[in-house]
Structure 1
Amino acid sequence: MTNEHISTYIERSVLATLRGLIPNREVRSQEEAKRVAEHQAIRLLELQRIESGPVPVEFIADLPKIEIEIVDAPVSGASFWNGTTWIIQLNKHEPYCRQRFTLAHEYKHIIDHNRADALYIGSRDATPSEQAEQAADYFAGCLLVPKKLLKRAYYGGMQRTADLADYFQVSEAAMTVRLRQTGIVEPAPRCTPQSTPFSRSWQYRMNRRTQIQGV
C-alpha cells in the first residue's frame, strides 16, 4: 500500500469512526445531539492517543484531505469541500486560543457533513442552523477541555479560571462555560435577590512548518 493510499485510509477511518457515532435515525433533542458531539470528541482524543493537556488540536491540520487557510475575514471561521480537499478557514486577526477553538468547531461541521439534517431538526428555541452551531461549540469545548482532564487539573489544585484557561490554551470565557458544563462550578443565578448586597461574580497548508498564528 502506498503512502498516499495509507493517508487516505487514515482520514476515511477517522471520519468514518466519528460519523459512525451518529444515530441512524432522526435525533429528536439538542441534548442528545450534544451527547453525540461529546462522544465524538472523546473518540477523537482516543484515536490520537491524547491523555494530557493542552490538547494539540493542530493535529487536525495534519490529517489527509484537510487544508487550513489563515484569512482576512469578518467571521471566526468557515469550512467547505473544494472538490478534492476540506478547507478550514481561520480569521488571522483573532488570537491563538480563539483560532484553536474555531479549528475544532469547523472540524465538527466536517464530521456532520450530509448528516446535519438528521442531527438538527430545530425547536421552538433554535433553528436547525443554530443547533448545529451550538453542537459545534460543544464539540470544540469537549475536545479542547475534556471533562476528565479538566477534573484532573481542577481537583489537583489548579482552580483559578485564568490558570485553567492558560493551561488548556482556551479563552477564559470558554473555560467558564466548560466549568459549568462539566458540573464543576454551579451556573450563576439568573438574578440576584434584592437582599443580597453583593453579586458574584484563512491559503496555507497547516503542516509541521506552518503554525496557526494569532495577532
Structure 2
Amino acid sequence: MSVEWNWLEPRERKIIEGFQDTAPVRLSALAKALGVAVKAATLAPGISGEIRPEGDSYVIRVNRHDPPKRQRFTVAHELAHFLLHRDQIEQGLEDNVLYRSKLSDTREAQANRLAADILMPQQLIDQCREAAEDKGVGDQVLYMSEVLGVSEDAMKIRLGI
C-alpha cells in the first residue's frame, strides 16, 4: 500500500476494506458509504471527472462517454481527492484526461496512488494471480486487469512492470 493509504483515518481504511473483499471493488457502494454520490454525466471535452460539494456532502461526476475501466479509475481518483484533499476541493475540482486539475502534480500523484490502492488491493491481486496460474492463463496482466476492472496500464503500474 502507498504512503497515502497510511494517511487515512483508521475508520476510512476500515470502510474501504469492507468493499475490497471481492473483485471488482464496488466503487459506487464504497462512495455511498463514505457519504459521496456518484453520477454519470456528459462533461466538457477532455474532462474525465469532477468532485464538487453539494449541500452537506460531495458529488463525483464521471464522464459517461469514457470507457468503463476509465470511469472506474476516475471515480477512485476523485474519491482519493475527497479522502486526502477535502480541504482543497473548495467549489470543486475537474480532472482532465491526464488526471490533472488545479491541484499540484504532487496532489494528483497522491490521488492516483490511493486510487490504485482502492481498486487493486494486494489481497485481490494475489487472488487473481493465483487464479490465473491455476487456470494456466497466458497473459496474467490482461486477466487481472479484467477481473479487477482496471486498464492493463493501471495494472502494470500497480505491479511495477
Q: TM-score, normalised by structure 2?
A: 0.72
User: Alignment partner for residue 77 of structure 2, among 89, 102, 105?
Assistant: 105
Q: 1:154 to 1:36 in 2, by over 3 A?
A: same
Equivalent residue, structure 1, for 2:99? none
* Deviation of the 1:42 alpha carbon: 5.1
Q: 1:36 to 1:160 in 2, by over 3 A?
A: same
**Partner amino acid, structure 2, of 1:45:** I
User: Alignment partner for residue 77 of structure 1, among 41, 49, 54?
Assistant: 49
Deviations 1:69-108 (A, max 9, x none): 3222231111011233301010011011111111111011
Given that residues 15 and 33 in structure 2 are in contact (C-alpha distance below 8 angstroms), is that contact kept between their aligned partners in structure 1? no
User: Alignment partner for residue 52 of structure 1, among 12, 22, 32?
Assistant: 22
Do structure 1's residue 37 and structure 2's residue 5 form an aligned pair? yes
Equivalent residue, structure 2, for 1:164? 144
Alpha-carbon distance between aligned partners in 2 of 1:128 and 1:81, rounded to the nearest angstrom: 16
Equivalent residue, structure 1, for 2:97? none
Paired residues in the alignment total 137
**Partner amino acid, structure 2, of 1:84:** D
Alpha-carbon distance between aligned partners in 1 of 2:49 and 2:76, rounded to the nearest angstrom: 10
Q: 1:42 to 1:150 in 2, by over 3 A?
A: farther
Q: Relative to structure 2, which stretch is displaced further, 130-139 or 150-159?
A: 150-159
Do structure 1's residue 145 and structure 2's residue 124 form an aligned pair? no
Alpha-carbon distance between aligned partners in 2 of 1:154 and 1:168, rounded to the nearest angstrom: 11
Any gaps of 5 or more consecutive residues in structure 2? 90-101
Give the structure with the higher percent helix: 2
Q: Relative to structure 2, which stretch is displaced further, 34-43 or 58-67?
A: 34-43
Alpha-carbon distance between aligned partners in 1 of 2:63 and 2:19, rounded to the nearest angstrom: 28
Given that residues 145 and 151 in structure 2 are in contact (C-alpha distance below 8 angstroms), is that contact kept between their aligned partners in structure 1? yes
Greater gyration radius: 1
Equivalent residue, structure 2, for 1:114? 87
- CA-based RMSD of the aligned residues comes to 2.6
Any gaps of 5 or more consecutive residues in structure 1? 1-33, 117-126, 181-186, 188-215
Alpha-carbon distance between aligned partners in 2 of 1:54 and 1:129, rounded to the nearest angstrom: 30
Give the structure with the higher percent strand: 2
In percent, how many aligned pairs have the same letter? Answer: 26
